[in-house]
Amino acid sequence: MKSRTLVDVTTISLLVVLAIPVRLASQGQNQQPGHYTVADIGTLGGTFGEANAVNNKVWVVGDATLPGDIARHAFLWRKGVTKDLGTLGGPNSIALYPLNERGDITGFSDSSTPDPLSEDFCGFGTNLTCLPFLWQHGVMTPLPTLGGNNGQALEVNNRGQVVGVAENTTPDPTCVDTAQVVQFKPVIWQKGEIIHELPTFPGDPDGFAIAINDKGQAVGQTGDCRSSFHAVLWDNGTVSDLGNLGELQLAPQDINNQAQVVGYALSPSTLVAFLWENGVATSLGTLPPDVFSLALGINDKGQIVGDSCDEFFDCRAFLWQDGTMTELNSLVNDPNAPFLENANSINARGQIAGKTTVQGTPIAHAFLATPSPGEVNSGRNTPAARRQTSERRKVILSEDIRNMLRQRLGPRYHIPGPVTGTAAVISGPTATLSPISLIFSTQAIGTTSAAKTVTLKNTGTASLTITGISIIGTNAADFSQATICGTSLAAGASCKISVKFKPTASGTRTAALSIRDNASGSPQKVTLSGIGTTAKLSPTSLSFGSIGLGTTSLPKTVNLKNVGTTTLTITGIAITGTNAGDFAQTHTCGSSLAAGANCSISIRFTPAVLGTRTAALSITDNAAGSPQKVALSGMGVNGGTLTGYCVHGQFVPLLGCRITSDPSQCPPGALAINPVVLECGSPGQGPFYVDDARSCRVLINGHFFGGACQRTP
């Protein structure tokens, strides 16, 4: 049921002709909803933002990328002001589901600690441990797990109950061919700290709880590590199966205080929005001529919001009420309003939070749509209204649609295993690309980035014929690709394509990797983006190695060069980040740098605490991608007495240690090589170096370091 995020996606082809007619609500006789005005919430400085929830106080939460589009953070927007909620030590955080009326916010965040099992539970691709959090009164606090390393907090109700998922320490034998190792369980946190495991459906080892109402009723899914078997409702500690929509499996997304549940019903071939109440699931259909839909939010009036999409996964936000599905864009009178692509949440006032797009670009912004005064329909749903239906046309869907759906929903997404009886798989090749987008770090004009890799896999039943791989699009010349894929790919086989970024101009640069083949949906594409800048930093990272606590390292130098044709204005140079106080900088840069000129920045490291210490050198200027950053790292170690072999060293400096070599352990004539050469047995104060030859061992406060003995001539 899940591997890297909350849920896992099995590799089943979507080349299926739909054999089950799916019914939808007609666009007929019911009262139409009122008109809306749209507020553009924007991003946190990057090119992507989405609003995921809005409460009745009009507080909006979501996530957005920072400048450079490398990291994304959860945010809170209220009264026109956006607040970055930060992280729990790592680069990324996200808030996906509704906040309560007190303003408590749930989500999950990278930590700064690598996952010891190499899992990527948050789904950010960092392989750092993933911590569930509760944000209250300006403070983000991690929530406990069931003893495992990872968890995600998904929704909080007005009683302060939080639901989500957490790992235990039990190895999961159903995690085959996935990055997941241990079991994960649906959980509820009480009072922001006490965790309780919710029961899974009998026989299911894994699960997650995704939404909770003010009565404490929660919905989610249970199954095994790879497949969801049951959509479930928890009520007073008892778990029950929500059932199916015909032969389509339900994936709940939200529950209101009337115990109405919305989500999407799906098979390996299709998905459609549903409303579940009183034990019965009903299809909401799509906007014509779309072919699938997703319901993501419902308020206590029964108004539902979500997305309706065509076979190319071009989506538009919808509002469903009184048995009628209406495109949200049609309710906005402003001709300059952005295109509303996704609707994720609706409050009691009918205000809707979601995501806009600038079509044809990778730019997306968070939005809040507010109904005009006096025009909002009651939104009361009746069974009679929902009985009006019409047939939806049959389509053939490609694997690319699965990839786009996975990217759209993240942890909300799950496609189950094969179903039997009504869907027939069409034989042939299927081209699957992973990932389907690449975002490069800010790169100096004329310099080449490190390569990023795209995997092309044939998940079909016949050989894939490749007729061309190329870079296309607006800034195609700024990207290059290399591959050994050849002209064909056998069924089940994969190959890799390497892509590099070398900007020719300043600013955001976009293109696409295009693969032409004989599979459905050809050409398959991977979107490419990066930012070119005139401020070139060299190197882009510094490691200081191991330094004794309270001891200052030798300096390391960063060079800043203006590779542009106009003067670079420098407004700030500073150390930022988690352990900024352990690093210091001095520079010769001044407030401007002429075209072609350079200056230097000197960095020193003085660890205050044992362990890995990280920060960044940040240069703020008028170049694209500002602030430019250099990653800084070092290890704080204990000083003290060194006792052991004489060593000859070149690599790891351990400063501030007293050196006492044992003459009984020294070969005749050996020297301890230091800035001041000391004969064996002589004490001394100063830098002590060990190399990595591992032929000798030096004990430092209980930790051994390798060294190599050297005889004098």
**91, pLDDT greater than 60:** yes
Could you tell me how many helices (H) and strands (E) the chain has, helices first? 2, 59
pLDDT digits (tens, 9 = 90+) for 612-622: 899 999 999 99
Domain 535-637 has CATH 3.40.190.10: no
Tokens standing for 657? 């240690």
Tokens standing for 419? 């179903």
Band (pLDDT 50/70/90 cuts) for residue 127 is confident
Q: Look at phi and psi of residue 235 and say left if phi exceeds 0, alpha if psi is from -120 to 50, else beta.
A: beta
Across 353-367, 465-479, 555-569, least confident range: 353-367
Q: What is the pLDDT of residue 434?
A: 83
pLDDT digits (tens, 9 = 90+) for 128-164: 999 999 999 999 999 999 999 999 999 999 999 999 9
Where along the chain do the CATH 2.60.40.10 domains lie? 431-529, 535-637
pTM above 0.75, yes or no: no
CA of residue 694 relative to chain centroid, distance? 40
Alpha carbons 370 and 512: distance in angstroms, whole number: 36
Q: What is the pLDDT of residue 90?
A: 92
CA of residue 89 relative to chain centroid, distance? 15
Distances (CA, A) of 360 to 407, 473, 474, 527: 17, 10, 10, 11
Compute, in degrees rounded to 10, the torsion defined by CA atoms 574, 577, 579, 580.
Answer: 10
Mean pLDDT for the chain overall: 79
Band (pLDDT 50/70/90 cuts) for residue 63 is very high
**284, pLDDT greater than 90:** yes
CA of residue 217 relative to chain centroid, distance? 28
Q: What is the pLDDT of residue 546?
A: 78
What is the number of other CB atoms lying within 10 angstroms of the CB of residue 462?
A: 14
Q: What architecture (CATH level 2) is domain 16-405?
A: 7 Propeller (2.130)
pLDDT digits (tens, 9 = 90+) for 633-643: 988 876 543 33
What is the number of other CB atoms lying within 10 angstroms of the CB of residue 240?
A: 12
Please tell me what DSSP assigns to residue 248: E
**509, pLDDT greater than 60:** yes
CATH node for 431-529: 2.60.40.10
Where along the chain do the CATH 2.130.10.150 domains lie? 16-405
Alpha carbons 690 and 706: distance in angstroms, whole number: 7
pLDDT digits (tens, 9 = 90+) for 319-375: 999 999 999 999 998 888 899 999 999 999 999 999 998 765 668 899 999 998 865
